[in-house]
């Protein structure tokens, strides 16, 4: 297991749990944390069958650490986004295994959009999301202008960006921004059960499903039907598909190999 300074990573039962671990600053993102998340996501993709990202302490992530490095007013934001955020977001979005964001508390600014980079977002009822950028004269970044309109629609995304108001976990679920919001007292057990479900599933099938759904935003109907046919043909050649059919006929749970 690798040692990190700003996050912790634990792998057991094919589930890699990455915990943002700067609770004294609400898990704010600094240069080191972004690099460690990037590395850990790649590591999890090779050594687990599902990755869960959550936070230690009361917050999930409060966004960019404005005290990191240069003073906030003189920070080269374009460089930071291109050189530090882009690799991190790609490491999550392109991870070889499904990624769950388990949002345990406040997810603000880049922290909210870090959560939305995952395939599935599960939030505790007490959690909330806020695109806080306009409060300091910025636009949503860290993928916010990409994920928000796709997940909650253009009207809600625009309001979230301009008003910078908190969106409760229940609102986020109702608006289609996240997969589900669950009670605080069952939150951790719930996301662990969800992770275990994915860890026991057909990993290659999940990868192709994720790619197909994301590709649909750029494709017309014919291109998407062609992509589906190609991907389904590839799925049909896997041992997991054969096991799934046999298990169905034998009326038992499938035992997927995953890779």
- Domain chopping of the chain, boundaries: 7-199, 203-249
Alpha helix locations (H) across the chain?
31-47, 77-80, 86-93, 110-116, 144-152, 154-163, 169-174, 187-199, 203-215, 221-235, 239-249
Contact 68, 135 (CB under 8 A): no
Q: Which fold has domain 203-249?
A: Lyase 2-enoyl-coa Hydratase; Chain  A, domain 2 (1.10.12)
The predicted-structure confidence for 167-213, as pLDDT tens digits, reads as follows 999 999 999 999 999 999 999 999 999 999 999 999 999 999 999 99
Quote the pLDDT of residue 246: 93
The tally of CA atoms less than 13 A away on the side-chain side of residue 16 is 27
∠ CA 13-180-187, nearest 5°, is: 55
pTM of the model: 0.93
What's the chain's average pLDDT? Answer: 93
Quote the pLDDT of residue 134: 93
Percent composition of the chain: helix, strand, coil (DSSP 3-state, to 5): 50, 15, 35
Quote the pLDDT of residue 205: 93
Q: How confident is the model at residue 71 (pLDDT cuts 50, 70, 90)?
A: low
Name the token pair of 129.
Answer: 């999301």
Domain 7-199 CATH assignment equals 3.90.550.10? no
Read off the pLDDT of each residue in 45-68 and give the average, rounded to a whole number: 94
d(CA 125, CA 213): 27
Same fold, 7-199 and 203-249: no
The predicted-structure confidence for 129-166, as pLDDT tens digits, reads as follows 999 999 989 999 999 999 999 999 999 999 999 999 99
d(CA 140, CA 113): 8
Integer angstrom CA distances of residue 59 from 112, 172, 186, 250: 11, 17, 17, 46
């Amino acid at each position: 297991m690798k040692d990190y300074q700003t996050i912790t990573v634990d792998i057991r039962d094919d589930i890699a749990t990455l915990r943002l671990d700067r609770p004294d600053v609400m898990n704010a993102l600094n240069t080191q944390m972004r690099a460690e998340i990037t590395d850990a996501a790649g590591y999890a993709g090779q050594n687990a069958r599902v990755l869960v990202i959550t936070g230690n302490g009361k917050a999930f992530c409060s966004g960019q650490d404005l005290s990191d490095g240069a003073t906030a007013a003189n920070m080269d934001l374009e460089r930071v986004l291109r050189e530090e955020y882009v690799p991190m977001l790609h490491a999550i979005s392109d991870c070889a295994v499904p990624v769950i964001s388990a949002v345990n508390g406040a997810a603000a600014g880049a922290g909210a959009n870090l959560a939305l980079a995952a395939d599935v977002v599960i939030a505790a009822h007490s959690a909330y999301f806020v695109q806080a950028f306009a409060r300091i004269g910025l636009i949503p970044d860290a993928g916010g202008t990409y994920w928000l309109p796709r997940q909650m629609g253009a009207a809600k995304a625009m309001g979230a960006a301009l008003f910078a108001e908190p969106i409760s976990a229940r609102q986020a679920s109702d608006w289609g921004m996240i997969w589900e919001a669950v009670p605080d007292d069952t939150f951790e057990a719930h996301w662990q059960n969800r992770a275990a479900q994915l860890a026991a599933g057909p990993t290659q099938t999940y990868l192709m499903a994720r790619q197909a759904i994301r590709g649909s935003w750029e494709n017309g109907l014919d291109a998407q039907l062609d992509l589906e046919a190609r991907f389904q043909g590839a799925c049909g050649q896997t041992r997991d598909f054969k096991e799934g059919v046999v298990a169905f006929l034998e009326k038992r749970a499938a035992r997927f190999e995953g890779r």
